[in-house]
Structure formats: structure tokens, C-alpha cells
Structure 1
């Protein structure tokens, strides 16, 4: 007889995308029991209760740092679409050049929605990390018809509280999904000849002025100096600012 903690841990592993066989090896729970828990969930498991925002007294999604990281990924390069039977599909698109980003997006999504199976679909040059749940619009009220840059993107007060507590995780999600850390090369024509200078910098590019503003506000919370270098792009270029942002974001991998 297994206790509730073992059952919940087993369901979390399944929700993260592990096979039944691998879950059995990690937990020691029999295959038949795992299948029964998967196919016939019970109402006393915290994994199948309504989401934090659906409770009679709405609460902050947990873990908060994973949630706000996933929000950054969604605002940067994700979308939510309605499916039959009141279910919604959350998709995050990750460039195939960054396998670490794909893995991190998968893990973060599983932390936020442990009852849903996380899957991946290879597309042209990228991988779609996706999950089905009826609760995604509750967790991400920024969902709506049309493209994100064609409608207002405003955080709810409870979301702003999480950003204030975890601005680095929010910025990490934004920049890793729709930004980059690279090397800038500057040419200087000097009397002694042409010299080239190189320095690292961050860029975040998005067509939504609201999302750009949210990124700037989070950078302000971190004490990271930034500026707009284009209508739809902000950059972090000062050496001390890049070094500080490296502690929270770092290059894609």
C-alpha cells in the first residue's frame, strides 16, 4: 500500500513526460498501480484539485518562481489556443539551436501544471513545447483573441507581486524566449589606424510595446541599466549591467 506522497510524486513524474517504465524505475511503484493512478485519479490528490486561481479564495500559483518564468516565456514566444471541450493548449516555441532552453521550458511547464502531460513537437527549425489544460487562461489572463502586439498586455496585481519578488526569473523567460546575449563589435577610426572593440550585451525584441515596458520595469527592479535602441528592441550594454544580468539570465544554451 502506497501513501499519498508516493502517489503524488509518481503523478508528477508522469506529468513531466516520463514513460511509465522510467517512472516505475524511479519510484518502485508497480506498472499496474501507475496505470491505475494515471487513468483513474482520485479527488483527494492535490494534483487534480482546481488551479490556484480557481479556488474560492484565489491564491498565488506555486512555485511562484517557475510560474513567473513561464509567464516570461509565454509573453516572449508563446501562445494559447482554445481546443474542444473547454481545454486550452499552451505552446512555447524554442529554437533548436538551444536544447537547454527546450529542456528548461519543459521542466518549468511541468512545475506549473503538474497534472498535464508535457509534450514536444518538432517544427521547422524549432521545437514546440506544449501542454493541454482548462486552466491556462486562468493562470495567464493576458490570453485573448489576436496577436499579443495587437492588444493591451497588462499584468494583474497578483502577477505584479510575483514579478516584484522574482524579477530575474521573469526577465530570464523573456530574454531566453525572444532575446539574446551576444557580442557587439564597434569600429573606431583612430589616427593610428582602425581598431575594433568587442563587448557583450543583451537584446530583447518584441513587437508589443506593453511587453517591452514590462521587461524594462523588471530590469529596473534588478537595478540593471537599459535603453531602447530601436522602436521594438531594448538593450543592456554597460559592462556592470551585463555582469549583473548574467547572474539572472546568462546566454542561451
Structure 2
């Protein structure tokens, strides 16, 4: 290994500051091109010209959190989102799975992520039948304290006081996020005999299905505050489904949530 003295290094740095190309400095002084590049980087860093990558601030602790976008994204996260930190990655990632059948939902999810994390990049990762809308941020633990080991329905899910304040202020956005993740709008039908003639009647309703008792309660508690009536619709004895079927209340959800698209 060749070691270059302080005099050689100073000559190289002087030439680099004068605008001489790295390759010309290396050739003139007879030193490796990589060494010249390293000296240039270290000199710029010492003078504050190469500070390195600036990490975006925490949108909650150091910035202004977009409460509407956050309430919607929180609903999506509780339904179809997860946070992962692989050993190879120092920064955790937030992913929300969106079915390919709902491209509009992907757009809404990406829009919300960009609004909540304006300093971070958002990407889409193709999976079988869906895409993961994804971003990396070291502030995910702060924004989503519900993260923990295991599946959501196997651990306690409760909102922090500051999160509850946002949900109380933006209840429709929160409900919209939950329904867009684990809900749907369908049209049921039934038959009635009127004047001796059997007629078919159709009526819309909203379903929300989640195995977690805590997440379902967050949904129904918010519906209660909004004055939206709901009922449990069990399947096989499991109360995983929340139904909103009254005409006036379905109209409210249509106005504020709308169908997935």
C-alpha cells in the first residue's frame, strides 16, 4: 500500500480547489484516482460544502402534521398496513397493500403518504394481485405507535391521546381510511309480495370486516360520534363484520366515503 505525505495531499487539494479535474490531478501527482476523490470529499466536508444527506424532520414533532391526510392514512394502516425494519435497512418502511382492482385507492394512499411525509419518497411495489404503496422514514415509530410484534389482532390496539384528538377532529377521514382498507359497499336484495306479486328490492349497504376487536371498536366508536347506526353481522358466530344498512346512514357514507375505485 502506498502512503502519500501531507505535502502531496496539500498539493492535490490546492489543485482541486482551483478547479482541476480529479483525473488530471491524479495523473500529474502520480496517485490513484480514488485517493484524489476521497481527498476532495474530505476537504469539502471539512469546509461545510458536503454536509451529507439531510434527514426530513418528524412531521409530528418538528413540523406541521396534515391532520386530514394522517387520519385517512391511519385508517389505511390499521386495515391493510404494516411497518417492517429489515436487518439490512436502517430505516423502517411503511407499506399499505392496495388491490389492483382499485387503482384510485392506490392514488389516494400515495397522496396521503406524500402529505403526511412531504420530505420522503413514495413508491409502489408490485405484488401478486396488488401493489404495496411504500415509503421509508425513521419517524414511523412516532407516527404509528400501534406497531409491535405479531399480528394486529393478536395485540392491544389503542390510540394515543394525540391520535384520538386528530380522529375526533377528522372522523370522516378516519372512517374513510378504514373502509377503503377493510370495507366495501355492496348492493343487497330481497323480495316482497305486494298485491299478490312478488317483487325484488335492492338496497345498498356498507360492510367493514376486521378480525381485531380493538380496531372494530375504533370504527364503531367513531360511527357513534358521527351518528351513523351500525349492527354486527356475524358469520359462523364470529362478529367480524360491521354493517351499515339504514338508507339515511348509507347516504352519509356515500357522501363522505364513497365506494372503492
| TM-score strictly above 0.5 | yes
Q: Distance in 2 between matches of 1:75 and 1:69?
A: 10
Partner of 2:68: 65
Structure 2 residue aligned with 1:206, among 200, 203, 210?
210
Count of residues paired in the alignment: 206
CA distance in 2, matches of 1:133, 1:212: 28
> Does the CA-based 8 Å contact 2:56-2:120 persist in structure 1?
no
Name which of 160, 165, 170 aligns with 2:164: 160
Partner residue, 1:138: 142
Secondary structure of the 1:48 match is: coil
Matches within 5 A, 1:1-253: 41=53, 48-53=56-61, 55=62, 62-83=65-86, 84-188=88-192, 192-230=196-234, 231-253=239-261
The answer to whether the 8 A contact 2:156-2:214 is kept is yes
Once the two structures are superposed, residues 148-174 of structure 1 have per-residue CA deviations (whole angstroms, 9 ceiling, x without a partner) of: 011110000111000100000000000
SS in 1 for 2:199: strand
The question of whether the paired residues in 1 share the 8 Å contact of 2:146 and 2:158 is answered with yes
How high is the TM-score relative to the length of structure 2?
0.74
- Structure 1 residue 189 displacement after superposition: 5.4
Higher relative contact order (CA 8 A, sep 6+): 1
Structure 2: runs of 5+ lacking an equivalent: 1-50
User: CA separation in 1, counterparts of 2:251 and 2:217?
Assistant: 22
Q: Deviations over 1:175-216 (max 9, x none)?
A: 011110111112335672432210111000000010000000
Give the Å deviation of 1:116: 1.6
Residues 1:90 and 1:205: Cα distance change in structure 2 (over 3 Å): same
TM, length-normalised to structure 1: 0.76
- How far the C-alpha of 1:217 sits from its partner, in A, is 1.0
Contact 2:82 2:94 in 1 (8 A): yes
Contact kept? 2:231, 2:244, Cα under 8 Å: yes
